[in-house]
């Protein structure tokens, strides 16, 4: 993750400090290295990547595109929205969505799906991470649909990342259909269970079987 982890740095400021202390000198010293800021979460990171050199790109999670910190904190602490980088205010979420749906090859998907068990999330010191693997593509589709940019989803999911790393594009295809489905409350996981994002609620898109 593109964050510093020193205890004295406010958790909402750690991405910005990382850009200043780590990314800026890294780009100066390694001008031919392909660099990715994983799971960016702030408008500042968006601008840094947009204005950076061609060897710099960034990944984004579905949950950072769809939710802000109110989902975590309003009406009580919701541990299944606790992740790192932590969810930020709405202005940052909107900046992320704008960048993701811009068609820029500098931005692409990186789910950071984290299958921490329900017990380790719902505890006095819960693990950081959101489980989205059950519906990652469908959740990204919701974010792109919100901006009327579904035509740019394929590039974000399947092309930009491969191009940045100099890899061949995956030629396999899936088909998304506008058909909602209800997310289970739990998924079995190694004798325990995980609570997925949208547990007990619906997702607007489905992958055609």
Residue 114 sits at φ, ψ, to 5 deg, of -125, 105
CA distance 20 to 48: 10
CA distance 193 to 185: 10
In the set 10, 13, 29, 112, the catalytic residue is 112
Tokens 């607007």 belong to which residue?
204
Mark whether 13 is an active-site residue: no
Report the catalytic residues: 112
């Amino acid at each position: 993750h593109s964050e510093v982890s020193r205890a004295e740095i406010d958790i909402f400021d750690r991405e910005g400090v990382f850009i200043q202390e780590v990314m800026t000198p890294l780009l100066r010293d390694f001008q031919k290295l392909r660099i990715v800021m994983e799971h960016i979460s702030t408008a500042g990171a968006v601008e840094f990547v947009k204005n950076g050199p061609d060897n710099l790109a960034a990944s984004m999670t579905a949950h950072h595109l769809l939710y802000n910190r109110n989902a975590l904190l309003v009406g009580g602490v919701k541990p299944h929205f606790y992740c790192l980088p932590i969810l930020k205010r709405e202005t940052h979420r909107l900046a992320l969505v704008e960048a993701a749906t811009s068609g820029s090859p500098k931005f692409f998907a990186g789910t950071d799906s984290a299958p921490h068990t329900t017990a380790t999330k719902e505890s006095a010191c819960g693990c950081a991470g959101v489980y989205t693997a059950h519906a990652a593509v469908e959740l990204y589709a919701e974010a792109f649909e919100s901006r009327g940019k579904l035509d740019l989803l394929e590039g974000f999911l399947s092309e930009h990342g491969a191009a940045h790393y100099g890899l061949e594009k995956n030629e396999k295809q899936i088909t998304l259909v506008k058909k909602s489905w209800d997310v289970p409350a739990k998924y079995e996981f190694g004798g325990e269970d995980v609570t997925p994002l949208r547990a007990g609620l619906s997702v607007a898109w489905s992958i055609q079987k």
